[in-house]
Amino acid sequence: MRHESLPDNSHVAKIGYGTSGIGGWILADRSQDARALAALRTALELGYTHFDTAEMYAAGHAEQLLARAISEAKSSREELFITSKVQPMHLSYGRVKKACEGSLRRLAVDYIDLYLVHWPNPVLPLKDTFRALNELAREGKLRHVGVSNFNLGLLQKSQKLSETPIVSDQVPYSLSHRSYVKNGVLEYCQQNKILLTAYSPIERGHLPVSDTLRNIASAHGATPYQIALAWLACQPGVITIPMSLDPRHIAENLAAADIDLSAAEIDQLDRLHS
C-alpha cells in the first residue's frame, strides 16, 4: 500500500475506506447494520487502515458502526487513521466543540487523526470555527485539521486561521470530475504539501468507462474502476476514499493502490474528460 506523509511524519494510506452510506444516509437505518458491519469487518481484515466518516453520515450512526467494527476486530488504535467531519450547521465555536466531543464518543476514541470542516457555511465566521479547532488540537483531541469542499480562497483563509497546518482538502475528484483541477485547488495543494482527498472517485459506480480505460484495465488484469483509483493514487499528494458494501469490490479497491501505471497510460488517462 502506498502512503502519503503528514507534517508530523506520520502516514496515511493512499486508498482508504469511505463510510458515506454506511448505516443510512441522512438518518440512521439500523435495518442495514448487519451488512454495514460485515463490510467494515471485511475492510479491517483486508488491511485497510484509513477510514473516513462524519457526524453527518447517518446522523452519527456511521461513526458508531465503525467503532463497533474496530472493537470487534480488536484493531490497534495506533495503526488506524480515522477522519471525521463537523457539519456546516455546527461551525460556531461552541457547536464545533460539542460536535467533536460527540464524534469522539461515538467513535470510542480519545483523539481523531484528521477532523475536517465538512462544508463551508457563509453564515458562520470561519474565525470562530478555527478558534474551536485550534483549542481541540491543543488539547490533543485532534491530531490534524483540514477542510472539505473548500475552494482556493476559503482554503487559503483557513490556512491563515489554523494554528496547525491544514493537511487536506477533501473534494470530489475522479477521471470524469475535475472541477478542483480547473479551479486551481489541486495544483495549490500539491505545491503547498496539502493532501487532496478525492471523494466519489468512481462516481458511486457510475464512472463512464471508455475504450481507453477498458484497454488499460485489460493490460493490467484489473477492472476499469481499479484503474480509475490507481490513476488517483499515482498522483503526488492525492489520496482517495472509495466506499463499497461488496466484499469483492472492497478488496479490489484496496489492491488498486499497488497497480503501477506507465507514463504513457497516465498520459492517456489524463487526457480523458479533460
The pLDDT score that the predictor gives to residue 273 is: 77
The active-site residue out of 17, 48, 57, 225 is 57
Kindly state the cell numbers that stand for 25: 444516509
Taking alpha carbons only, the member of 256, 218, 262 closest to residue 238 is 256
Q: Does the active-site annotation cover 57?
A: yes
Phi and psi at 56, nearest 5°, equal -75, -25
- CATH number for 217: 3.20.20.100
Confidence (pLDDT) at 249: 97
Task: Print the domain residue range for 215.
Answer: 3-271
Mean pLDDT, the chain, rounded, equals 97
Tens digit of each residue's pLDDT (9 = 90 or more) over 153-184: 999 999 999 999 999 999 999 999 999 999 99
**Contact (Cβ atoms closer than 8 angstroms) between residue 140 and residue 108:** no
CB 229 within 8 A of CB 211: no
Domain count, the chain: 1
Residues lower than pLDDT 70 in the chain: 274
What pLDDT is attached to residue 108? 98
- Written as one string, the DSSP assignment of 198-251 is EESTTGGGT----HHHHHHHHHHT--HHHHHHHHHHTSTTEEE----S-HHHHH
Question: What does the pLDDT read at residue 84?
Answer: 98
84-106 per-position pLDDT tens digit: 999 999 999 999 999 999 999 99
